[in-house]
Amino acid sequence: MNGSMVDLLRRGSTAPVEPFERGFGWRPRGFAGALAARPSSEAELWHARLYGLRPLLRFALAFVWIWTGLVSALLHPPQASLDLLASAGLTAAPAVTALYGLALVDVLLGLALLAGWRVREVAWIQVVMMAGYTLGAGLLLPQLWIDPFGPLSKNLPLIVATLMLIAMEGPRRCSTSD
């Protein structure tokens, strides 16, 4: 049933009920009575409230990953990133590989999420990576915890938002023809 159908029913645009009653032996409830007899459950209300946010959440998370990867690889001064990695003990070729390799992984994970490809699996990889980034950087560069821009503390709500996306995606459904 769509919104137009509901509007028609509310305005009383219905067929005569008497032929139905004669044919089936019972009188159907009116629209308002049927809705009152079975009000929306809490789960249905949650679903209705979150339904439109699900794609926005996926697109927003994809944007964060793509933008972070692009900024890391192309826009932020590479020497500043390499200096930060050096303060964590990573220098020379391994530091360059980490900088550009992880930036590429970030972009690819963001693109996969944007495309809707294996959303649950990609999101779980993102959760693991964020937890790894947060723990690793938090231990090796504890000053980032008190950075006014919150590069580590922002990961905590992002992890929760990603877990929400995973929950909203639900398990993969198998068809009976599989």
Q: 174 versus 107: which is more confidently predicted?
A: 107
Annotate 16-74 with DSSP letters as a single string. -SHHHHHHHSSPPPPHHHHHHHSPPPHHHHHHHHHTTHHHHHHHHHHHHHHHHHHIIII
Note the pLDDT tens digit of each residue in 91-139.
999 999 999 999 999 999 999 999 999 999 999 999 999 999 999 999 9
User: What confidence score (pLDDT) does residue 178 get?
Assistant: 46
Whether pLDDT at 172 is above 70 = no
pLDDT single digits (tens) 135-154: 999 999 999 999 999 999 99
Global pTM?
0.77
Burial class from Cβ neighbours inside 10 Å (0-12, 13-18, 19+) for residue 79 reads exposed
Question: Nearest 5°: phi and psi at 39?
Answer: -70, 160
